[in-house]
Chains A and B, each alone.
Chain A
Amino acid sequence: MAAGPSRRRFLLGGAVAGSAGLTLGARGLVEAPTTTAGLEHDGAADTTPHGGGVSGPTFRQGSTVDHVANGFHPSKILRDFDYGTVSALPDGRVRRDWEVFASDEDIEVAPGLQFPAWTFNSRIPGPTLRCQEGDLLRVSFTNGSAHPHTMHFHGIHPAAMDGVPDVGLGVIEPGQQVTYEFDAAPFGLHLYHCHVSPLPEHIARGMYGTFIIDPEQGRPPADEMIMVMHGYNTTFDGEGNQLYAVNGIPFHYMHEPVQVKRNELVRIYLVNILEYDPINSFHLHGNFFDYYPTGTRLQPSELTDTVIQGQGQRGICEVRFPYTGKFMFHAHKTEFADLGWMGFFEVVG
């Protein structure tokens, strides 16, 4: 607990130094201390307190987590798409390279509460890797954690690149570096996560992220954002979670509503990776959205305001907000909502 924000780089540095010949992509080091600057869109925090008593659940009023010390900010994660380093292959295809590292971090997941997390690129959820179908993807993975990990992608790829123990690259031990390489298919909204046993713990500790494969023809222009639904089992008893959230910090978008423009198309990449609970859900107030399960078809399956997802399920929500004002979104499993999985959209004219 005594470690400051610099601890993650120290740990990682130690792990890397301890394994001769390993180098870490400069990108990872530069990215780790994410600042809260550049939030022009989500801008200044809404200082009006919400909740308390009959007004609803809230953390202790006036208390917020230290995003700077955490090294990531949910308002920034919301629209943070990592397209990797792009280069052209001789056959004209696009090649994308990413540097991803695993590390152990103490993250303030609720004001005053430090959670000993295992992360991809020092954040929860991990980076949103985005590409187009047909691209060649190369993900260099360095395990800077004290525990063995893998990167297991949802998608179509050779068995050797599946990121599970005893197959292909298998388990990546601390200090090891490997490269997962496969073609981007099929287009849609996917995810990746660690697949080392005990699997529930590796996921619950924070090792997951979003993986988007855009269709060749693209999707209509929109204000795009990701929402990863997850939880924190702070007692590590494996029986449910004490905290529920989207994009890392419970209740965050209650204080800093997601800013959207009236009548503009908003596209939400919604992923559920919640451990220990069988289902999760997403409900939007005052508006309806087109839902594209897994994002693998360009036609929506339904127009709704509530969807249910099991672990690993995901889908794209497309919505235009006709009215200005604040609209809640939360799990319509209200227990999860009251334990942190709720937020606001703020529609401006």
Chain B
Amino acid sequence: MYIRSSTRTSAWVLGLVAVLLLGAALSALALLGERSLPERTGPPIEQLAVERTELTPGVIELTVRNTGPDPVQVAQVFVNDAYVDFAGTTEPIGRLGTDTLRLDYPWRDGQPYLVSMLTSTGLVIEHEIPVAVDTPRADAGFFGLMALLGTYVGIIPVLLGMMFLPLLRRAGGNAVRVLLAVTVGLLAFLVVDGTTEGFELAERTGGAFGGAALVVLGAVLAFLLLTAIDRWVRGRQQPAGGDARSGFGLALMIAVGIGLHNLGEGLAIGAAYAVGELALGTALVIGFALHNTTEGIAVVAPLTATRPSVLRLLALGLIAGAPAILGALLGAAVNNAELSAFLLGIGVGAIIQVIVQIMPTLRERADSVIDPLAIGGLIGGVLIMYLTGLLVAA
């Protein structure tokens, strides 16, 4: 007893000493490093990333962030080769600092604009507005529209897909296995889809917060977190262990994974709407309905052997579909590429976790390899997503 406690004490002391030494070494480096190493020989490196563009009649508002190592001062601004009056800070913007520039410029609907920010050193930092459209106001009508959009592309298709449940129950065990394989195929497609979309968005951020690394970070965090939750839930349900999954538990995990994916998808849709790049209308709704109906099938695939209540099914559908509403709202109101990239990454991680969970059920027996039937299902799933994806013009 005595020995153990003394060991613990000495471990604490050792740890403390190590931390103190580290602190002392860092302080010494901070003091000496500056003197022993030369300053950068080149000119200052000035970078600004435009995180948000808001257009109101007669005004272009840019939210910029300094993503470079040196302070940046915007001296003057010209739009399409004409200097403009603007409001904003007169001080340099420090590293990772942000500022909003309000440009007094009579822009016209539907036209392209090139905003050039002239820094105090004469550097020009350009920001392209491909098509100018009035940025939607965040009023009740706008939130209503986003909620409707989220419902169309998220909730309705997923619920429609879940209506295939009775049909799935009629089919035999092999059919369910193939269907689960199709689901994995669908999800694998979503992983690739979400990753590329996340990387594309991350490229636009200027990389101050990691750029593409944000997508990976989101994916890894989501995967680990969901795995931990899954283990915890499983541990409580079956203290004795064993790998037999309750159908509803698996369906719930799939719904959560797809829900997180739809959050990212809604975000992309909302952001596209905010900058006027989204063609709303029947084509979009029908396209997403077909595309996301398959997600509903994925949710109910593990439920063929159980008889969950309608309320529980509805809850599953909302978990998988409703985040699209939240995503659309966030996307249109915040329209922050970094947040979008991170959330898309979370969707990717969540879906990978779901795939990992479904994979064992694709085997005929616990010790067999995946058979050609299941592989056919995988291929079918990927193809379905690819083809229905072509219908979504967003």
Contact of B84 among A57, A111, A235 (CB under 8 A): A57
Query: Quick check: A234 and B118 within 8 Å, CB to CB?
Result: yes
Contacts of A113 in B (CB 8 A): 75-76, 118-122
Query: Quick check: B83 and A59 within 8 Å, CB to CB?
Result: yes
Q: Does A329 contact B (CB under 8 A)?
A: no
Q: Does A251 contact B (CB under 8 A)?
A: yes
Residue of A nearest to B44 (CB): A1
- By size class, the interface of chain A is 20 to 34
Query: Quick check: B83 and A234 within 8 Å, CB to CB?
Result: no
Compute how far the CA of A246 lies from the CA of B233 in the bound complex, rounded to whole angstroms: 76
Compute how far the CA of A69 lies from the CA of B104 in the bound complex, rounded to whole angstroms: 29
Contacts of A339 in B (CB 8 A): 78, 81-83
Q: Does B123 contact A (CB under 8 A)?
A: yes
Compute how far the CA of A289 lies from the CA of B106 in the bound complex, rounded to whole angstroms: 34
Query: Quick check: B122 and A242 within 8 Å, CB to CB?
Result: yes
Query: Quick check: B121 and A338 within 8 Å, CB to CB?
Result: no
User: Of A46-54, A128-136, A145-153, A189-197, which stretch is located at the interface?
Assistant: A46-54
Contacts of B81 in A (CB 8 A): 335, 338-339
Contacts of B77 in A (CB 8 A): 60
Residue of A nearest to B106 (CB): A54
B88 to chain A, nearest CB (A): 9
Q: Does B391 contact A (CB under 8 A)?
A: no
Query: Quick check: B123 and A111 within 8 Å, CB to CB?
Result: no
Contacts of B85 in A (CB 8 A): 51-53, 58-61
Contacts of A114 in B (CB 8 A): 120-122
Which residues of chain B from 96 to 140 have any CB-CB distance to chain A below 8 Å in the complex?
Answer: 104-106, 116, 118-124
Q: Does A112 contact B (CB under 8 A)?
A: yes
Q: Does A115 contact B (CB under 8 A)?
A: yes
Query: Quick check: A57 and B118 within 8 Å, CB to CB?
Result: no
Looking at B77, B83, B123, B124, which has the most chain A CB atoms within 10 Å of its CB? Answer: B83
Query: Quick check: A58 and B84 within 8 Å, CB to CB?
Result: yes
Q: Does A110 contact B (CB under 8 A)?
A: yes
B130-172: CB near A (< 8 Å → 1, else 0) gives: 0000000000000000000000000000000000000000000
Query: Quick check: B106 and A57 within 8 Å, CB to CB?
Result: no
Query: Quick check: A340 and B106 within 8 Å, CB to CB?
Result: no
Number of interface residues of B (CB under 8 A): 24
Compute how far the CA of A232 lies from the CA of B77 in the bound complex, rounded to whole angstroms: 15
A240 to chain B, nearest CB (A): 9
Compute how far the CA of A3 lies from the CA of B76 in the bound complex, rounded to whole angstroms: 22
Contacts of B75 in A (CB 8 A): 110-113
Contacts of A61 in B (CB 8 A): 85
With contacts A111-B75, A112-B76, A339-B78 known, is A57 near B83, CB below 8 A?
yes
With contacts A58-B83, A111-B75, A112-B76 known, is A53 near B104, CB below 8 A?
yes
Q: Does B58 contact A (CB under 8 A)?
A: yes
Which residues of chain A from 1 to 60 have any CB-CB distance to chain B below 8 Å in the complex?
Answer: 1, 51-54, 57-60
Q: Does B335 contact A (CB under 8 A)?
A: no
Looking at B82, B86, B119, B124, which has the most chain A CB atoms within 10 Å of its CB? Answer: B82
Looking at B58, B73, B84, B119, which has the most chain A CB atoms within 10 Å of its CB? Answer: B84
A139 to chain B, nearest CB (A): 31
Compute how far the CA of A111 lies from the CA of B84 in the bound complex, rounded to whole angstroms: 13
Residue of B nearest to A340 (CB): B83
Which residues of chain A from 93 to 110 have any CB-CB distance to chain B below 8 Å in the complex?
Answer: 110
Contacts of A51 in B (CB 8 A): 85
Compute how far the CA of A113 lies from the CA of B77 in the bound complex, rounded to whole angstroms: 11
Compute how far the CA of A61 lies from the CA of B76 in the bound complex, rounded to whole angstroms: 10
Residue of A nearest to B59 (CB): A53
Query: Quick check: B122 and A115 within 8 Å, CB to CB?
Result: yes
Which residues of chain A from 321 to 347 have any CB-CB distance to chain B below 8 Å in the complex?
Answer: 335, 338-340
B40 to chain A, nearest CB (A): 15
> 18 other contacts beyond A242-B118, A251-B83, with CB at 8 A cut-off?
A53-B58, A57-B82, A57-B83, A57-B84, A58-B83, A59-B83, A110-B76, A112-B73, A112-B76, A112-B120, A113-B76, A113-B120, A234-B121, A234-B123, A242-B116, A250-B83, A335-B81, A340-B83
17 CB-based A-B contacts, threshold 8 Å? A52-B84, A54-B106, A57-B83, A60-B76, A60-B85, A60-B86, A61-B85, A110-B118, A112-B73, A113-B76, A113-B119, A114-B122, A235-B122, A242-B116, A250-B83, A338-B82, A338-B83
